Structure 1
Amino acid sequence: MRKILDLLFLSWILVACSDNSYNSIDSSTDFVASLNTLDSSIDFISKDQEVIETWKLDAAYTGFTLVLNDYIFLYGYSLDRAELIQLSTGKKITSFPVHEGTTFAYAVEDTIYVANGKENTVTSFDIKGNEIAKADAGRYPMSMIADEQYLYVVNFKDTLMSVFSLGDLKLDRTWNIPTSSHGLYLNGDELWLGGHGAGSQPNKVIRKYNLVSGELQGEIEAPMMPIDFTDTSDGNIFTVSHGSNNVSEFSKDGELLSSIKVGANPFSIKAFEDCIVVAGYDDHQVYFLQNGKIIEKLKVGKGPFQLVTREVSK
């Protein structure tokens, strides 16, 4: 009888330890969060540029996105389920049946759009994990961005962009783009597109497309492999080029305003408070920039790959 009770107690301990809840993040706290893919962790960094919380994750997540300011949607390419975690409680709320191959997720209010590079599909879900709509895309859909009507999807291993209506994911049109494109920014009636480049020809331009026609309207020279964008309250646009460890600042017209070397193999860039924040994947640092200069660098988990921000007051 004692052995049975001991086994029951051990089982209870194991179940309790696998609850998979995390320390909560107060709903009034502004933060920039770094998903570190080499040690499966998330570091939450305050506006004072200090790590205020670290979550040790339970699976090989490769990306995340912020949903409704109080949820983090976590996914992994090798995982058949994604998780929605509530920040204010630290608890897992919903599991999503996304299938293996998730490459990217993008949230518009309470709808989450998930790209799958194995199935070549885009699927929309509500926050309860229910599928709303599903559509075929090109080969290896990845980067996504949305305006009031449409979801723009870059097919990384293809030469087209898919443009879907937001509600039912009906394919509205496709555009011709270079293969290995990545990184999107909406600039008025233009869509700016970055990319890695293919084979021995690394990409060194940002392409500007007309949002309605999809026609190429021009190119902006940029350091090698511009792959992510952000903007600031003054209207300037920043891009990070991971092939050259460079952050460039442009006006809305595409004029180069500043350029600086930052980090080692940076993949992600965000505006936060009055800073530009960059994740250095190979040196495990998050960098804070102001006025074209590095003002702080912070050691985080291994392999900071993606950043998300929350500014509650905005």
Structure 2
Amino acid sequence: MNWKAVMLVASFCFLFAGCDQKSLPLPDGNEPYAVVTHLKEPALAFLESGHKRPVRTEKIDEPWSEMVSIDSGRMVALAQTGTKLLAIDTNSGAVDELAQFDEALTAVTALPGRDAVAVADTKNSEVKLVSVEHGDVMEAFALDGSPSELLADESGLLFVLCADKSNVFVFDLETMEQVNSFPVSERPAGLFFDGELLWTGGHGPTGDLNSAIRGYEVASGEMKVEIEVGLMPIAMTGSREENDFYVVSHGDHHVYKVNRATQTVVAKAEVGQNPNYIYLFGNELLVSNFDSDTLSVLQKDPFKLTDEVSVGAGPYAISVAPGREDDGS
């Protein structure tokens, strides 16, 4: 299934000064759709499966640096300033300011099975859990370092990467307690938990750039596996139900398909310049190429690049909404 981008031609009224209504137009139909944020220019792109239309962009007043889907059918976006969270209803299009913060946040992740997100507060060296229903901070975890990346797993574990300390903290979301912390490679980036090992990559030390990903046992913090991929692997995605997962190396502009059982790279594909973000959507992978202003679409099996779509300047975060609920009419 090939993907083509289609930017909805509509006024994003809620984002412009002087407009009171806070809502955004959504794609027609009930099929899931992807949303891409842009950092070089304030814009959003909506992408629907199977369409063959040219890309169009619409300016908004402020870029969104992060966007995640919540189990309740909403999405949460982090404004680029880092001080504001927005909640988007993917059924009605309603947009509400969820929470304001005095200090800028740098990352957000959804908490599986919960109507909540975790956000990274680097200034105060802590992670906050925020209710999507009420917008209040439900819990905060203090850290010995500045959180740079977050990953919440369906098992109830929250992984917090602190790049400044080259360390990972592990929290149990049931007990709300820290269960472990352990060192990882220098200048780390990228997190993926396969149910057994926590994988991370990164840039590596200055002058000796990294080209490997490493798998760590969560209970002991011991590194169990090291696999060579491309230069500077900085993002990963996959499903714990499958043996393969996927790694973006933005130093050589490739995506690598890695098999956990054989602990080898089984395939690779070249994408655009400076890829930063990867999203797994069914049998396809979406990769945003920050410097090429494109979105690469890859097929999982057989693994290959199927499309390269122009989407506007500086595409970054990608998320997928479930589509509108059928009202029976």
TM category, shorter: 0.7 to 0.9
Superimposed CA distance per residue, residues 163-222 of structure 1 (whole angstroms, 9 cap, x where no aligned partner): 112146432221111232111111231111111223222211101100211111121111
8 Å contact 1:273–1:311 — kept in the other structure?
Answer: no
How well do the aligned residues superpose, as a CA RMSD in angstroms? 2.5
Q: Could you say which residue in structure 2 is the equivalent of 1:308?
A: 319
For 1:12-31, what aligned pairs fall within 5 Å after superposition? 17-25=19-27, 28-31=30-33
Aligned mate of 1:260, from 269, 273, 279: 269
Shift of 1:142: 1.9
Shift of 1:133: 0.4
When structure 1 is superposed on structure 2, of 211-220 and 162-171 the one drifting more is: 162-171
Q: Secondary structure at the match of 1:90?
A: coil
Shift of 1:22: 1.4
1:289 aligns with 2:298: yes
- Measured at CA, do residues 240 and 73 of structure 1 come closer, stay the same or move farther in structure 2, by a change above 3 Å? same
Q: Secondary structure at the match of 1:100?
A: coil
For 1:1-314, what aligned pairs fall within 5 Å after superposition? 17-25=19-27, 28-48=30-50, 56-68=59-71, 70-76=73-79, 78-108=81-111, 109-127=114-132, 128-147=134-153, 148-167=155-174, 169-231=176-238, 235-253=243-261, 254-290=263-299, 291-310=302-321
- Measured at CA, do residues 205 and 167 of structure 1 come closer, stay the same or move farther in structure 2, by a change above 3 Å? same
Letter of the aligned partner of 2:205 in structure 1?
A
In the alignment, the residues of structure 2 paired with residue 91 and residue 306 of structure 1 have an alpha-carbon distance, to the nearest angstrom, of 20
Letter of the aligned partner of 1:34 in structure 2?
V
Q: Structure 2: 5+ residue runs without aligned partners?
A: 1-15, 325-329
Shift of 1:280: 0.8
- Measured at CA, do residues 262 and 86 of structure 1 come closer, stay the same or move farther in structure 2, by a change above 3 Å? same
8 Å contact 1:26–1:88 — kept in the other structure?
Answer: no
In the alignment, the residues of structure 2 paired with residue 117 and residue 99 of structure 1 have an alpha-carbon distance, to the nearest angstrom, of 12
8 Å contact 2:57–2:311 — kept in the other structure?
Answer: no
Q: Structure 1: 5+ residue runs without aligned partners?
A: 1-13
Q: Could you say which residue in structure 2 is the equivalent of 1:3?
A: none
Shift of 1:102: 1.1
Sequence identity (%): 23
Bigger radius of gyration, 1 or 2? Answer: 1
8 Å contact 1:230–1:269 — kept in the other structure?
Answer: yes
Superimposed CA distance per residue, residues 264-289 of structure 1 (whole angstroms, 9 cap, x where no aligned partner): 00001122232222111101111112
8 Å contact 1:36–1:306 — kept in the other structure?
Answer: yes
Q: Structure 2 length as normaliser, TM-score?
A: 0.83
Which structure's residues are more often helix, by fraction? 1
Q: Structure 1 length as normaliser, TM-score?
A: 0.87
Q: Secondary structure at the match of 2:252?
A: coil
In the alignment, the residues of structure 2 paired with residue 25 and residue 165 of structure 1 have an alpha-carbon distance, to the nearest angstrom, of 37
Alignment length, in residue pairs? 300
